[in-house]
Structure 1
């Protein structure tokens, strides 16, 4: 197959799909035409339309392209090249070919390579119908790649041999060479589906639609396949084309398709498109609108908060009549006393009535609701609980809590609708009516049924605090997730952080400082996880104070996670960090850190304050901010001095005096640190600094004192001012 294009060879060998073959072929053709046009050998008018040729041996009329074609078709016989280039007729091609075959056979027989009995019947040519073997058909396909018959014949041979995959390959090439045969494309689509190749089937239907764009069946099948592939947009575009092609006499089909499309759009959260489809159906086929259609339209309008349009659809197509009735009297005051009456014919489904009630509630037309509510409560909540909830939520939306409460109470007492979402609405309703005790019980039920519902926990905690139950308020804000989940799940970390913020505020208001510090450290550990590893700091739980609390400790390097675990942790931390900073901005995290440092110092936990500062200095976001870094260094110095860790304090103050050599306050602190450190390493530091700042009074005094203590009285006298 040396005369075939590379992409065709790859396709036949099964290396690429038919769609990839088509794409590569189009790209190659574009490059070839562009190259020829750039050389000035091919004008725009002379470009042949060879979009249906699978090989790279397309025939051009120019001299340079003849050369390229001869190179591409080096594996073809001379007479076939002349025929494809239009130099000879088909009859002349056939005559020459027969002569060449005779010469070749004679030559082989003379050499003893082929006996007369083994001579194959070589009468088949690209236009003949004789089929002797796969080998001869392969040769014919190689010699005449522009003809689709050899490929179709090869496909039949492979089909007879049971190789359906190879058969389909050659069928696709044959269809590609004869693209106007739409029925063949549809048959190939069906064959592709038998091999579970939905993508290829879509491609085949697309080819068929290119020649029959108004074929509804093809559009329907292709759209269905797009739905199976999950391509909602392409599926809906196809269905919309079908709607435009349906005749007015196909009203039932139009309505059914519009109904299905509206549902599909609604499930895809595209309410606007769903409304447009259903409005088009109602305007074109008003006489075919059913109660199901009214229900769908009303649902779409209500979900889009277009209650007036929903009410209009219900009254126009369901037979329900709303009338304004004015009380007798001629004064303006009496005219204002209008009542609205509602007449509902028999046979109207309860779903339509409920949607009518929802619209009336939101439009503040409350007069006709009493008989409708009576009809609703006569229904069993076990069967119609969703309708109860729809009406109750409508009442809650407009603040009619007294009307919503009976409906919600009936639901929470049922078995089927005894759900967390219903208990939550029940609790909100009770809370709005001021029934705090009962509301707390309902919120407690929500937490029992949905332990990870953050808003319910926070509301329950607030109510318990208001009811004078601080311990139960704290209990409602117990951690929801374990540390492993928090380390891997950014969503869980976000929820936990919000809960801890509320818990810390509650603990601080109750004066429980140890618990308050626990929550602060937990939150900061979520943010500083990687920084704490670099600083070799770990957060542990211990009961050394009699109660179990969290403490910061220094650990050895071998207890820190290995490199692989660290890389994984870093990847997880990036996602979690993005979530954490979305809940609290950087400045709020900074304030949280300051609160933790102050609180640790208030509890005389100075060593932990040092470790927290160390970890914070390893956190790049704080370290890169010069002002925050300096402030952290001052915190670290203070914590180290209070912890009597003067060696560490010296490391802080040493850098500070180098940067601010003329600040007496820093020199006083430096002197206090060196006095308590029982170390002499500062002697050389002061001498080196003196060389850079010979006129600094504080350095003169310190160096004089250092020399005196060391017994170097001569040097001590030399450093004294005025000597």
Structure 2
């Protein structure tokens, strides 16, 4: 006997549990009209699958039937042995695996699933097995695996509507909207044409979701399904939404096609050499619905058919109920304003503000008046918007700018001012206020507004001692607690955190963008104190936690710009410990340790010496010795480097170290003479190795060397050569890296010390302009 799984339902099986009407797609052609009696339609609601013919030879069919019989009688072991024997003789047959899966479905679901998978792959076109495997996955809670099984089944029976709906049902449990929309679109393509209402309902549902996510192209693609499959049953809603999406996608030629095919229009059209469409004339049907009429006007506006617009606008001004169709009027107004037809838009808006006094309409009216160069009326309109919708914060900035144009600075600031005594802070208004203050270059007020904005989640730092507190390790709460203790110790019992009730908070990303903009402005304006204060405030922010590493870099840069090596050293040390192989970190470290008053770096390098990467260890320690005055150790390192590499850098540094030793008083005259010759040799060797491309740098350093040795005529000679040489830096940094001003200043010192004040003055006047 043939084996049939218990879960496989034949034509007498049960309907789907949800009770929905489901069609048997295998008996329907999705691309042809459906015909048949009511009984046939009723059969299409059943779960029916195509039967798979057995590939077993006759003698194995009998053995397989005997195995099913033994299993039905409870002799499971014998049934298993018979199944294994069938597998041995016919390994590509799916029947024994199907029977084995049924044996384990109540005792071992894992084995049941394994045998079902084997059966599926051996009989991939057997839809019932795929469905049974999907049910097993569903029992285990693997919804997406069950969905994949139904997708496999749909691959072999793409017109089986039951499979499509079952897959959608599972996806709705999982909540993956993107896949659900794709599956519903596929179902709309496979449903029989007789179910045109269901097709329209599905495509409208999918198109609305695409409209919400602004995926207009996919929405148009979905809405064209009923136009192709059931063109005689397309509803007005489908046409309206399709036109809306086409207009948003700027596909105006397709809009004209829809108006022609489904709305009864006819057009006389000319195509220009630039492939733009010109509508010369048109005929429209009588009693055209207002929504289609408005979309038609929007389409002509976008096509810039100026000759046809006056009559259309006059018709809607005189015929239609403005209050009832205000949203449609607004679509036409926005289209007119986007294309620059402000006078026509103003005619419509005048009528609209008279008939329906809504804040959105008054806002468009004010924007249109501004574009029409009518500032007084625009200001009145903006004040009306504020009265109708006090929460409409977008009004404040353009209103303030209009007042500013009329030289009403005080009124503009009053529009954006807030009464903080109520303990409420409208953050959106405050952001608009910062924009205005920046626009009018009121920088003191701008920095205060930025501080107020940040004070909602940052502590406003009052003195340099508080910078160290926010640099310490710990959570934001711990930093604020330490800050409060420090202020109490100083006799300041004010609150560390502001306790405003914040209204209309921006997103973290939006506020962080404003914060970075303020830091950039402070740096560009060279207000490095403000830059450092704002950067360190960000280190104790509750909102900027995920940007902490970036804010720490801002704080480090602010220390360098503000020449605050005390706090900058702490940040640099942490960066080096975290990134020991980063060249930029070591360059920052070199910048920070320039201060002769702070020798913390020496102790740090002694402790950290073994952890410094080998490629940095020698030069870092040598430079540290040089900065701390330990010239002997530094001299040994650069002597070895010069012997090994004979590079320009090692020659320059060795000469520089010896030049420092030359200035010591403990040396006698003979040693000084020998050392001066050595220094001269090293510097000349350095200049030769640097090459002609950077001769200005070489001449300048030779001049400095001879000036320090006291050979003034050679120093004068090389400084003059440096003044004549052109810097070879060809990018934006040419002016920054040019050494002419430095050479001129040193040359003027030589002339001044020699008593030649006229020559010194001439050098300054010619080369240094202040």
Tell me the TM-score normalised to structure 2 length: 0.47
Q: TM-score, normalised by structure 1?
A: 0.49
